[in-house]
């Protein structure tokens, strides 16, 4: 699998490159945001590891341009910015996951493997999370082979939450996702559909947690 590593710290880039090659990746790397943008516009990669603090274009701008071109390449962001607002901004711009600096390579490896598993399942036409499985073709959801009786709106909410499992999904993102089904959806309607879905998932130990002012988080109860 091909990975693009974008990191401007030579020492960190060297150690990451070695570790990623040991994972079996064919690694290409660069240290400048403008160069990364050019490489991503010309070549296909299986995953991108992207630092935010780059010379030239910022990592955030590289990410925005990638998504604007319609690319669905999974992107794992490296950042020293630990403010929640920064993480939420990155996820809204199209990041798939975050690793905060400093980090152990084992954490990066685990997150990359989880990201690739999720991407592979999406390409196969289904999503999986915490015992849940959603067939994207039939629009049918299951919990450990037991079918769930969900409306089309509830399936749409579940689809977005599962595709970002473990990460916050903003109310505006859900509204935009639901609007594609029919008429424009407002914040109050989003709350109604989330409430209905939450009630149907709770018996299976799956919760949709509300993070006030941020959005919703799908997670498995302990």
pLDDT digit string (tens) for 183-218? 567 778 889 999 999 999 999 989 999 988 888 988
Q: Which of 78, 107, 122 is the last residue of a domain?
A: 122
Do both 166 and 107 map to the same domain? Answer: no
Domain carrying residue 52: 2-122
- Output the pLDDT for position 84: 64
- Output the pLDDT for position 33: 95
90 near 98, Cβ under 8 Å? Answer: yes
208: domain CATH number?
1.10.10.10
Do both 209 and 140 map to the same domain? Answer: yes
Do both 75 and 184 map to the same domain? Answer: no
**Which residues in the chain land under pLDDT 50?**
181
Q: Which of 122, 153, 183 is the last residue of a domain?
A: 122
Structural domain count, the chain: 2
Q: Which of 107, 122, 137 is the last residue of a domain?
A: 122
Do both 69 and 153 map to the same domain? Answer: no
- Output the pLDDT for position 165: 74
- Output the pLDDT for position 149: 93
Question: Quick one: 218 exposed, middle or buried, by C-beta within 10 A (0-12, 13-18, 19+)?
Answer: buried
Do both 155 and 205 map to the same domain? Answer: yes
Do both 67 and 142 map to the same domain? Answer: no
Do both 118 and 131 map to the same domain? Answer: no
Do both 172 and 202 map to the same domain? Answer: yes
16: domain CATH number?
3.40.50.2300
147 near 140, Cβ under 8 Å? Answer: yes
- Output the pLDDT for position 122: 65
């Amino acid at each position: 699998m091909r990975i693009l590593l974008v990191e401007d710290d030579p020492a960190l880039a060297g150690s990451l490159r070695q570790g990623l090659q040991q994972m079996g990746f064919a690694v290409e790397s660069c240290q400048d945001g403008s160069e990364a943008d050019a490489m991503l516009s010309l070549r296909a990669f299986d995953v991108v590891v992207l630092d935010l603090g780059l010379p030239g274009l910022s990592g955030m701008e590289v990410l925005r341009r990638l998504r604007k071109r319609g690319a669905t390449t999974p992107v794992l962001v490296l950042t020293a910015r630990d403010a929640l607002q920064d993480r939420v901004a990155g996820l809204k711009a199209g990041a798939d996951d975050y690793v905060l600096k400093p980090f152990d390579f084992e954490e990066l490896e685990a997150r990359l493997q989880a990201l690739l598993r999720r991407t592979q399942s999406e390409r196969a036409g289904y999503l999986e999370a915490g015992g849940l499985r959603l067939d994207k073709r039939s629009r049918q959801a299951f919990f450990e082979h037991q079918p769930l009786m969900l409306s089309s709106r509830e399936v749409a909410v579940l689809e977005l939450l599962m595709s970002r499992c473990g990460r916050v999904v903003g109310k505006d993102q859900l509204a935009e996702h639901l609007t594609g089904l029919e008429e424009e959806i407002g914040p109050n309607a989003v709350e109604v559909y989330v409430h209905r879905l939450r009630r149907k998932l709770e018996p299976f130990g799956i919760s949709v947690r509300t993070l006030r002012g941020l959005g919703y988080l799908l997670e498995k109860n302990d």
